Amino acid sequence: MARKTWLALVTLTLLAGGGAHAGTAEDEIQKRDDVIAELVRKVDVLTEEVSDLRSQVVVPAEPELKSVYGYGPAASKVYGVQRGLSLGGYGEANYINFIGDEENTDLDRSDALRTVVYLGYKFSESIVFNSEIEFEHATTSNVNNGAGSGSVSVEFAALDFFWLPELNARAGLLLVPMGFVNEIHEPPFFYGVQRPETETRILPTTWRENGVGIFGNLGETVEYRFYTLAGFDAQNFSDAGIRAGRQQGNRSLTEDFAFVTRVDWSPDLLPGFLLGGSVYVGDSGQDLEIATGDVPDTRLWIFEGHAQYQSGPFHARGLFAFTSLSDSRELNVVLARPVTAPIADEMLGGYAEVAYDVYPWLFGDEGQQLEPFIRVEYVDTQYDVPDGFVANRDRANWIHAGGVNYYPHPNVVLKVEYRNVNTRGQGERADELGVGMGFAF
């Protein structure tokens, strides 16, 4: 009896052990299958993400670029990413042919004018870095005919700190918010091969400087920017204007600060219409002492007003700019400026342009754009000069321009422009036929 009992216990133990081992093996197989299934899922996810990344690099997710926070459309890409790095850019090249009244310096030229890279990084929803690095004239070496070397420059580099729609902060190398072209200078987004002269001689585009400021939207219709910047360097002003006085963030003298405010209004009742203006004020003497004496404070005021209307194929734009410079007589004396080519008390310029997209009318669809335009412009950097000096009237010019912008893609443009230039002085300027291309991405 005892022997039978012992055998029964051994048999039950073996059966129990075998069942346990069988259960363990099934569990291991199930775990292995689960691990394999998870690995397959992760591989599928990674494959899809790599495919999406390749697609985004080759074909951007947002082919239609849009300007925000005062930057050009391509420069605004970083604000649309969820997190991390953003890459964009633009480029332009042209050929200029001088016609009639040529001087020895009026030699026809072709130029790989600009190739630009936008680099941005979105640290978080509230902190964004944005920058523009520009390569001008194809090379930094001086390789031909004394034409001058190109350059590599940082056009802007700023950190944005977002708090509220009405109040945000910006610091770094800033684009000065005046006019149409200084902030939005990508070639698909202005008419003509060359920028309007008012926005290169009165408003010295591209104009940037070290500074800090605030920006935001007041309701749905008003946008503003207010910056504090390093001022100009007045010792480089001339009868051609203030452009050479830009310090461009390069170890800028900052004994004198400047302030600039811009406001734009886009009324709900008139879609496509924009009305705005900006004011700049700051001393430009920078406490400089030169061999001929102390550079005076030289306070510079710049006033600018602009309006734009776009409705369907029709586009119209106008701008007026005026400058006033204090201590101009003292500045001319200290800088030993010629009596017949002084730095002016006042300068002014303005233009009006209209364009119309005729592609749908000619070809019956809206897949591309063909926009003839005309522009009338007046620029005078010698509008009023100090007592004892004589204005250089060759610096006062009427410019009549007309041409065509053709867009085979919204961000790619081919341009033709003819400019007729008439001076109010004794000198003459050659007319210019320009052909150009540009792109942004």
Which helix (H) or strand (E) segment holds residue 247: the answer is: none
Distance of CA 47 to the CA centre of its chain: 36
**CA–CA gap between residue 427 and residue 59 (Å, rounded):** 51
Structure tokens at 267: 């009324």
User: Residue 439 has what pLDDT?
Assistant: 98
CB 297 within 8 A of CB 255: no
pLDDT along the chain (441 residues), means of 10: 48 46 67 73 70 55 79 96 96 95 82 97 98 95 72 97 98 98 97 98 97 97 98 98 97 97 97 98 97 96 98 97 98 97 98 98 91 98 97 97 97 98 89 97 97
Which helix (H) or strand (E) segment holds residue 146: the answer is: none
Q: Is the dihedral of CA 239, 240, 242, 243 positive or negative?
A: negative
Distance of CA 390 to the CA centre of its chain: 37
Instruction: Quickly list H helices, 300-399.
Output: 328-334, 359-363
CB 326 within 8 A of CB 371: no
Give the closest residue to 224 by CA, choosing from 213, 238, 209, 240.
213
CB 440 within 8 A of CB 72: yes
**CA–CA gap between residue 39 and residue 363 (Å, rounded):** 54
**CA–CA gap between residue 418 and residue 403 (Å, rounded):** 6
User: Residue 147 has what pLDDT?
Assistant: 66
**CA–CA gap between residue 223 and residue 162 (Å, rounded):** 15
Give the closest residue to 113 by CA, choosing from 147, 66, 74.
147
Strands 396-409 and 369-384: antiparallel
User: Residue 171 has what pLDDT?
Assistant: 98
Which helix (H) or strand (E) segment holds residue 414: the answer is: strand 412-423
What residue ranges do the domains of the chain occupy? 85-113+137-150+159-440
User: Residue 20 has what pLDDT?
Assistant: 47
Strands 289-290 and 314-325: unpaired
Structure tokens at 35: 């691990």
User: Residue 45 has what pLDDT?
Assistant: 72
CATH code, 85-113+137-150+159-440: 2.40.160.10
**CA–CA gap between residue 128 and residue 88 (Å, rounded):** 15
